[in-house]
Amino acid sequence: MSVSFLSESIQYLKGIGPHRAEVLSEAGVTCVRDLLQYFPRRYLDRSSVVAVRDLTENGEPVTVVGTVRSTGTVPSRRRRRFEMIVEDPFGGRIKCVWFQQVGWISKVFEAGDRVAIHGRPQVYGRLFSFSHPDFDKLDEENPSLDTGRIIALYRGSASLQRAGITSRSLRRIIYRLFKESGTSIPETLPEWVREKHDLIAGRVALRAAHFPKSRDELDDAVRRLKFEELFFVQLMLCLMRQNHQETAGASFDRGERLTAQFLGDVLPFELTTGQRQALKDIDSDTTSGRQMNRLVQGDVGSGKTVVAIAALLRAIDSGFQGAFMAPTEILAEQHYANLIRYLHPLGIRVDILLGRQTKKERDAALRRIKSGTTKVVVGTHALIQETVEFKDLGLAVIDEQHRFGVMQRAQMFSKGQNPHMLLMTATPIPRSLAMTLYGDLDVSIIRDMPPGRTPIETRLFFDNRRDDMYRFVASEIEAGRQAYVVYPLVEESEKLDLKDAQSGYESLKRIFPDARVDLVHGRMKGEEKDAAMRRFKSGATDILVSTTVIEVGVDVPNATVMVVEHAERFGLSQLHQLRGRVGRGASQSYCLLMADYKRSAESRERLSALVRTNDGFEISEIDLRIRGAGDFFGTRQSGLPDLRIADLTTDTEILAEAREAASALLKQDPFLGQNQHRAVRDYFERFYARSGMKLARVG
Ligand code: ADP
Ligand code: MG
């Protein structure tokens, strides 16, 4: 059989057919290769099955194996449910309960079925009870696949179950695949990489992942497969970086008169060490003759804007123009005000492009940009419209880069002859993720804060001390300060979300009758939102109630209080971002976290991490540890690759090895053109096509 069977549709495999093929394709499985890489979610290791008599309440999740004794749907006034009693070989009984999808689940089980139940047991009445447990039906007819010591269990979902795609049927289908064509699965890693990193053959690993003979074999298989996956991710990143490094870029080496004047005379403060280092990195990139792709990462308030302005001045010193793109009008205006303040004294013309300008204003600005009279243009997405033409764009700065899509960055890039790109983000990324997320960018990190800032004081309040919180807010407002009150976004229901913020707004107006209270939320139009933000910024509002829409980076130095309602519902990194909106002036600022007392110990622990530290990087590490990489941003949005087996949170050692191997391979064969690497290249092309990697690349 030829290698091409791997890319054949699974529809024609015995036991699948068009309907199941469609259901599987929703789970990302369309061809034979996908099926082989549809890795088990867990393994049922018979040696670790727990007897019912040894169960304890609220412990770790456990697996119980037994026979279904009875099943039944229980009608109830509140909610219908399906219950099932399972008995283990020692006569111990457990109860399993489902409240959802009762219709289909009641068709899954029959008395006499042998099942494995996985979940966290709780005690209700006399029996241990599992609600909505994971389960697997064990096979009687085909014992050879199921009586081994370790059994693969696959991800289940209602639609998979409904189509009859269970762990049991998957094991059979995959077993048959290996029997018929297992030997023709090609190796994807070069021989020398496998030797150096002590990896078993791909074919052997795939088979062992589905049908392990022992724990040891399974461990070797998993390591090999994770390595392979991370190796190809790294290969992709190294190739991109290689491409950038070959792109020629404008050289900023014609003096630094303006930059020196700005840093020496205009700027009222000294740069921090981190700012100085970032600027040095940028200087060496922009004078190297190659095009720069640099990401500056720094916590909110670390002073990234000044770095960007200094970089823009280097461009102007060398006869180029610069562009500065921000995600919202209010941020663009804030940057514009800063640029005017710093650059007008140097005699530099700055323009702004916004969506809401009149045609006349806009046309005039466009003419100045095209002729080169304007040296720096600030704006929102309006900057990348077709009508915007530069005379000679040498540097594009993109603020809050994660808010822009790849296409938008590419459009910005296309406005000049390979302009240097400077991306900025206030979202700290743990090192292990940064390597993957930004592997194709050079990164400068600003870790220190400008001096003279009083660290924000964070306090945790439970509902019983709500009045204390209000008293505190009142005292700050009396002292002439302003406050934010933020409500979480409730994902399932935008309506509910609004209701929370809205009723909060109403009650705050009652509690603070003399204060000017305003509301901003996600359902408002962009202009309305901006207008509300502007009122707050100008001091016309005392308390701004909002859902999570208030913008990152908006500088309101007089706002000293950030109240976060239902703080337990936010992610740690998100809370840290919110907190960063205060503490921008000289006076002491406060972040008050309001939490529900009944929350779990885990969420209390998370919130106290926030009380303990102000360091965004430390918080992001904690957050990552708690949530795992997939969840950290949501894989799709973040540009993180969709991984099938590796986990960026925990597989950092394998990641480092894979990275080393990938870069060694490219050193030896930069375009994978050698015959011995043909299989690597073939697989790489496929991997690239399906990886969904968006990456922060620009060029
Ligand atoms: P961010 O990194 O969040 O974009 P900004 O660039 O908006 O931060 O800077 C926050 C504030 O800190 C601004 O008011 C800015 O003028 C001030 N700032 C920046 N650098 C320094 C410095 N080295 N010393 C003192 N203040 C600084
Ligand atoms: Mg900023």
pLDDT one-digit tens code per residue, 446-487 = 988 898 788 899 999 988 889 999 999 999 999 999 999 998
SS3 495: helix
SS3 136: strand
H-run or E-run covering 26: helix 17-26
Say yes or no to pLDDT of 78 above 60.
yes
Shared domain check, 238 and 279: no
How many beta carbons lie within 10 A of that of residue 145, not counting itself?
A: 18
Shared domain check, 27 and 171: yes
Residue having the nearest C-alpha atom to atom 5 of ligand 1: 303
Say yes or no to pLDDT of 308 above 90.
yes
Where does the pLDDT of residue 637 fall: very low under 50, low under 70, confident under 90, or very high at 90 and above?
very low
Residue 423: per-residue pLDDT: 93
Residue 21: per-residue pLDDT: 92
Shared domain check, 432 and 377: yes
Residue having the nearest C-alpha atom to atom 25 of ligand 1: 450
Say yes or no to pLDDT of 432 above 70.
no
Number of domains, the chain: 5
Where does the pLDDT of residue 413 fall: very low under 50, low under 70, confident under 90, or very high at 90 and above?
confident
Residue having the nearest C-alpha atom to atom 4 of ligand 1: 304
The larger pLDDT score, comparing residue 199 to residue 141, is at 199
Q: Is residue 149 part of a domain?
A: no
Shared domain check, 372 and 324: yes
Shared domain check, 481 and 440: no
Ligand number nearest CA of 446 is 1
- Segment 676-698, tens digit of pLDDT: 898 898 888 887 776 644 443 33
Q: How far is the CA of 691 from the centre of ligand 2 (A)?
A: 31
Last-in-domain residue among 613, 640, 674: 613
- Segment 498-555, tens digit of pLDDT: 567 888 899 999 999 999 999 988 778 878 888 888 899 999 999 999 887 665 667 8
Torsion angles phi and psi, residue 591, rounded to 5? -120, 120
H-run or E-run covering 361: helix 359-371
Report residues near ion ligand 2: CB below 5 Å: 553
Q: Which of 538-542, 568-572, 660-664 has the lowest mean pLDDT?
A: 568-572
CA distances from 423 to 223, 304, 409 (A): 35, 10, 9
Q: What single-letter DSSP state applies at residue 266? A: I
Q: Which residues contact 258 (CB under 8 A, 6 or more apart)?
A: 313, 316, 317, 346, 348
Looking at every residue in the chain, the average pLDDT score rounds to 85
Beta-sheet strands, E only, within 33-181? 42-45, 62-74, 81-87, 93-98, 114-119, 122-124, 127-131, 134-137, 150-153
Atom of ligand 1 nearest to the CA of 555: 7
Say yes or no to pLDDT of 159 above 80.
yes
Q: Which of 18-32, 358-372, 639-653 has the lowest mean pLDDT?
A: 639-653
- The tokens 């073939």 sit on which residue? 682
Beta-sheet strands, E only, within 429-533? 442-446, 457-462, 482-486, 517-520
Shared domain check, 496 and 423: no
Pocket perturbation via mutation, ligand 1, pick of 270, 295, 299, 305 by most ligand atoms within 8 A of CB: 305
Last-in-domain residue among 389, 419, 446: 446
Range of the domain at 241: 187-246+649-699
Q: Cα–Cα distance between 620 and 430 in angstroms, integer?
A: 6
Last-in-domain residue among 83, 117, 143: 143
Q: Is residue 668 part of a domain?
A: yes
Alpha helices in 404-491 (DSSP H): 406-413, 431-437, 466-478
Residue 444: per-residue pLDDT: 92
Shared domain check, 570 and 461: yes
Q: Is residue 621 part of a domain?
A: no
What's the whole-number mean pLDDT along residues 248-259?
Answer: 88
Pocket perturbation via mutation, ligand 1, pick of 297, 299, 304, 306 by most ligand atoms within 8 A of CB: 306
What share of the chain has pLDDT > 90, as a percent?
44
Ligand number nearest CA of 308 is 1
Q: Cα–Cα distance between 636 and 98 in angstroms, integer?
A: 30
Residue 552: per-residue pLDDT: 60
Residue 598: per-residue pLDDT: 63
Q: Is residue 328 part of a domain?
A: yes
pTM recorded for the entire structure: 0.67
CATH code: domain of residue 164: 1.10.150
Residue 142: per-residue pLDDT: 47
Pocket perturbation via mutation, ligand 1, pick of 267, 269, 295 by most ligand atoms within 8 A of CB: 269
Q: Is residue 637 part of a domain?
A: no
Q: Cα–Cα distance between 184 and 380 in angstroms, integer?
A: 54
Residue having the nearest C-alpha atom to atom 20 of ligand 1: 303
Say yes or no to pLDDT of 670 above 90.
no
Where does the pLDDT of residue 84 fall: very low under 50, low under 70, confident under 90, or very high at 90 and above?
very high
Shared domain check, 666 and 581: no
Shared domain check, 318 and 212: no
Shared domain check, 692 and 588: no
Shared domain check, 37 and 57: no
- Segment 197-248, tens digit of pLDDT: 999 999 999 999 999 988 899 999 999 999 999 999 888 888 877 766 678 8
Q: Cα–Cα distance between 290 and 293 in angstroms, integer?
A: 10
Shared domain check, 542 and 481: yes
CATH code: domain of residue 306: 3.40.50.300
Residue 194: per-residue pLDDT: 96
Kindly list the protein residues whose Cβ atom lies closer than 6 A to any atom of ligand 1: 269-272, 275, 298, 300-306, 426, 450, 553, 555
Residue 409: per-residue pLDDT: 78
Say yes or no to pLDDT of 443 above 90.
no
